[in-house]
Structure 1
Amino acid sequence: MTKPRFSNDINIKNRQAGYEYELLDRYVAGMVLRGTEIKSIREGKVNLQDGYCYMNRGELFVKGITITPYAQGTHYNHEAGRERKLLLKRSEIKKLEGKMEEKGLTVVPTRLFINDRGLAKIEIAVGRGKKLHDKRDTMRERDAKRELDRLKLK
């Protein structure tokens, strides 16, 4: 049996965000998509690594996310690296706007998934950049946890 080309159980994570930032608050937002973007997302052809969010005229946009153009798309295919508008409640946008104005805080995408209604959603998080020694501490804790799990299995 072959794997279906399109899948509804998409869960694409940005593991680099947890390494680079101390994640404080998380929000789930909808995305405004064009044309064949949802087909590429259902194929799992998304890269969240370089993504970040910014405010423009009271609206939140995500930039740096790459959704690979759909292979069977025609001249109506989408642009891979375009910025996309995020759909949040007004109160959530106000909270994020206040946090983005604080020094050292940024908003990064952490996960892209398709919910049970078949809509593409993106999880964004407010993060504070880690220093090099913080990154080392994170790696040390992760290695210690892995060793403990290994010992428990024996």
Structure 2
Amino acid sequence: MAKDNKFDKVINIKNRKARFEFEFIDTYVAGMVLKGTEIKSIRESKVSLTESFCIFLDGELYVRQMHIAPYSMAASYNHVAIRDRKLLLSKRELEKLETKSQEKGLTIIPVRIFINDRGMAKMEIALGRGKKSHDKRQDLKEKDAKREIRRMAFD
């Protein structure tokens, strides 16, 4: 008999703009501290990562400007849509990220949110460097060339 799993729906919310704007140096998977109905909204994929970024406050890592829509079925105990949410990493990873993020031109960007096999919400973050406009043009040229090659292969 098949095992009944209530976490079968795959949640994978991506920040597609981040890959275009930044080149990633390192990636990490962090847990998130959520309140009340936030996890239910994440399971409904009502999250926006486009304007979000990570910042250190008192030696702890927080994500700012991440929008989690209020849960539609909650009556009066709903959460605030935009607030600072704490990210959970090991002490060694936090120290490494904090020293690297203080270098010129490096920043920490949320890349995607997913639900792991145990039902916990996780966030993939990346240490990245902003791309210049000529780097973006080069990426677009490569993307178009790959598309043309695929198109030629199927004709």
Q: TM-score range by the shorter chain?
A: over 0.9
- Distance in 1 between residues matched to 2:8 and 2:80, nearest whole Å: 22
In the TM superposition, structure 1's runs of 4+ consecutive aligned residues that sit over 4 Å from their partners are none
Query: TM-score, normalized by length of structure 2?
Result: 0.93
Sequence identity (%): 58
In the alignment, the residues of structure 2 paired with residue 79 and residue 7 of structure 1 have an alpha-carbon distance, to the nearest angstrom, of: 27
Structure 1 unaligned blocks of 5 or more: 1-5
User: What is the one-letter code of the residue matched to 1:85?
Assistant: K
Match of 1:136 in 2: 137
SS of the counterpart of 1:113? strand
Corresponding position of 2:118: 117
Do the aligned residues in 2 keep the contact of 1:7 with 1:43 (CA within 8 Å)?
Answer: no
The 5 A counterparts of 1:39-78 are 39-78=40-79
RMSD in angstroms over aligned alpha carbons? 1.1
AA matched with 1:141: E
Q: What does residue 126 of structure 1 align with? A: 127
Q: Which residue of 2 aligns with 1:22?
A: 23
Listed one character per residue, the Cα deviations across residues 35-92 of structure 1 (whole Å, up to 9, x for unaligned) are 0000000000000101100001110000011000001112210000111000000000
Give the aligned partner of residue 9 of structure 1: 10
User: CA separation in 1, counterparts of 2:85 and 2:112?
Assistant: 15
CA distance in 1, matches of 2:51, 2:85: 14
- Count of matched residue positions in the alignment of Structure 1 and Structure 2: 149
